[in-house]
Amino acid sequence: MSYEMIALMMFSSLLLLLLTGQRVFGVVGFVGAMASLFLWGDGGAEMPFNASIVLLNWFPLLTLPLFIFMGYMLSESGIANDLYKMLHVWMGPLNGGLAIGTVVLMVAISAMNGLSVAGMAIGTSIALPEMLKRGYDKRMVTGVIQAGSSLGIMVPPSIVLVLYGMIARQPVSQLWLAGVLPGLLFAGMFVGYIVIRCFLQKDLGPALTVEERQEISNREKYRLLRAGILPLAIVFTVTGLFMMGVTSLVESSAVGAAAATLAAVAKRRLTFKVLDNALHKTLSVSCMFMWIILAALCFGAVFDGLGAVHAIKVLFLDQWGLSPWGVLIMMQITYIIMGMFLDDTAMLVIVAPLYIPLIISLGFNPVWYGVLYTVTCQIAYMTPPFGYNLFLMKAMAPKEVTLVDIYRSIVPFVILMIIGLGLVMAFPQIALYLPELYYGN
């Protein structure tokens, strides 16, 4: 059997087993382990075993539970809520001001936790009821929350970029820097859209009334400003110390976890229930990531031993006649299709063993490609009919928000993100400028 046919059978088996509803890490690890046994016999059993040893020797893996704990501690203790209260007071007088503040909130919360789902959960529980109560259009509101939360996986300290860096063997510091300008670009496009849309149709995002503004004293405004800046200061401190070389990546994550805990203590919000919830959620998510990475290493080891990357390259370039850019565009399309059914980590695990070595062999920058991957994941999350975020929003939103409303709400934001993706692809320096400036070429 040819290498191309073996690779095709592995991916076909993978997709078929995923349709059964089994957990992603179980499917990926099973296919990788069974393929190694069929290809190399009893000795092939050493391949997944060695992958587990590699995982346990990965010192940077400590960053995952620490960053995740930081986010959950800020969330469970209510410190993240203070941020929205600040944005509510300071942005409320503008038409669409609460929606603009929500974009900032979603990016900040998702960045703290490294997961877009965290931003979605807080947005639907805090921002959504508040904006609906103040007469905001429900389609505008749901679209803003979904789009804003998706940006969190690009802003440092992003767990998704840490995971990509581990699997792709790329420096996390450069990936974090590469995500900054694209993240700001997308956030700016969203804010610009909200401002223009609410200026033209003021009923979509009415400003706070004069009476509501007068009810809040200047003293209260500045108190909320201090309280809201605290979680942002923690995030920027963690990232800043790492970028300045004061701390390593693992040390930065420890600083973030400690700072979030001390902040909860200082505000007298560190109760047993808060600590218990934060630890349980951290353990659950961290174990999921560890199993996924282990499965990815096993699957990738089989592909490396098989030489399938070279075979796929020959198939795309020699037999199909695609240009390197044609291959890149096809990869992005497959991400969008897969993203309708899977989350970002699952997609990365499935295609990383194939796509990342191919990207490097085609002469593309793997750090830049990491940004393209995250942007495409964001688009895939919100693409009807089966986008991951669409059904999360439906599960969390009140009953008056229908699935049709959610589908329609996301259309302008998906268009904006496709335009942004095109800009990052056409002008790679949007992503590479900061890494090259900080680390050199």
Any idea which residue has 């979904």 for tokens? 146
Q: Say if residues 126 and 82 touch (Cβ distance below 8 Å).
A: no
Pairwise CA distance, residues 246 & 138, whole Å: 45
pLDDT digits (tens, 9 = 90+) for 389-415: 776 677 677 777 887 888 888 889 889
Q: Where does the pLDDT of residue 368 fall: very low under 50, low under 70, confident under 90, or very high at 90 and above?
A: very high
- Residue-wise pLDDT for 171-222, tens only, equals 888 888 898 899 889 989 998 998 898 888 888 878 776 666 666 777 777 8
Reported as a single tens digit per residue, the pLDDT across 38-49 is: 888 777 777 777
pLDDT computed for residue 431 by the predictor: 92
- In this prediction the pTM is 0.74
- Which residues 6+ apart lie within 8 Å of 206 measured at CB? 95, 134, 135, 136
* Percent of the chain residues topping a pLDDT of 90: 9
Contacting residues for 214 by C-beta, under 8 A, at least 6 apart: none
Q: Cβ neighbours of residue 181 under 8 Å, at least 6 residues apart?
A: 430, 431, 433, 434
Instruction: State the greatest distance between any 2 C-alpha atoms of the chain, in Å, as a whole number.
Output: 77
Provide the 3-class DSSP secondary structure of residue 441. coil
* Res. 78: pLDDT tops 70: yes
The pLDDT of residue 432: 92
Domain boundaries, the chain: 3-12+46-440
Helix, strand, or coil here: 92? coil
- Rounded mean pLDDT of 358-362? 84
**pLDDT value at 228 more than 80:** no
CA-CA-CA-CA dihedral for 34, 40, 45, 51, to nearest 10:
-90
Distance between CA atoms of residues 414 and 122, nearest Å: 21
The pLDDT confidence band at residue 441, using thresholds 50, 70 and 90, is low
Predicted pLDDT of residue 381: 72
Q: How far is Cα 182 from Cα 200, in angstroms, rounded to an integer?
A: 27
- Average pLDDT of span 305-323: 68
**Mean pLDDT, residues 261-274 taken together:** 90
pLDDT score of 118: 60
152-163 residue pLDDT tens: 777 777 777 877
Which of 68-82, 165-179, 329-343 is least confident? 329-343
Core vs surface per residue 74-105: b (16+ CB within 10 A) or e: bbbbebbbbbbbbbbbbbbebbbbbbbbbbbb
In this predicted structure, the answer to whether residue 113 has a pLDDT above a threshold of 80 is no
pLDDT the model gives residue 427: 93
The better pLDDT of the pair 260, 439 is held by 260
pLDDT for 31? 84
**Proportion of the chain above pLDDT 70, given as a percent:** 81
Question: Inter-axis angle of helices 46-56 and 24-40, to 10 degrees?
Answer: 130
Mean pLDDT of the 284-306 span: 75
* 367/56 Cα distance (integer angstroms): 25
The predicted pLDDT at position 14 comes to 76
- Phi then psi for 182, rounded to 5 degrees? -60, -40
Number of residues assigned to the chain: 441
Q: Does residue 349 or residue 401 have the better pLDDT? A: 401
Predicted confidence at residue 308, as pLDDT, reads 58
The mean of the pLDDT values for the chain is 79
- 279 pLDDT tier (thresholds 50, 70, 90): very high
Mean pLDDT across 116-141:
74
